[in-house]
Amino acid sequence: IGADDVLFKPVAMDALFDAIGRVLATRGGMML
């Protein structure tokens, strides 16, 4: 479980921030 936490959490965070970044980039493009 410990190894899974170490591997999964960074990947989940990376995917989460990537999704947020895409949404913000898309909204920014629409605003401009």
The domain tally of the chain equals 1
Q: How far is Cα 8 from Cα 24, in angstroms, rounded to an integer?
A: 24
Separation between Cα atoms, residue 29 and residue 32, nearest integer Å: 5
Query: Which tokens go with 19?
Result: 């999704």
Residue with tokens 């947020």: 20
What is residue 17's predicted lDDT score, i.e. its pLDDT?
92
Print the domain residue range for 24.
Answer: 1-32
| 25 φ/ψ angles, rounded to the nearest 5 degrees | -65, -40
Give the global pTM. 0.52
What pLDDT digit, counting tens, does each position of 1-32 carry?
577 777 778 888 899 999 999 999 888 776 55
* DSSP calls for 1-32: -HHHHHHHHHHHHHHHHHHHHHHHHHHHHHH-
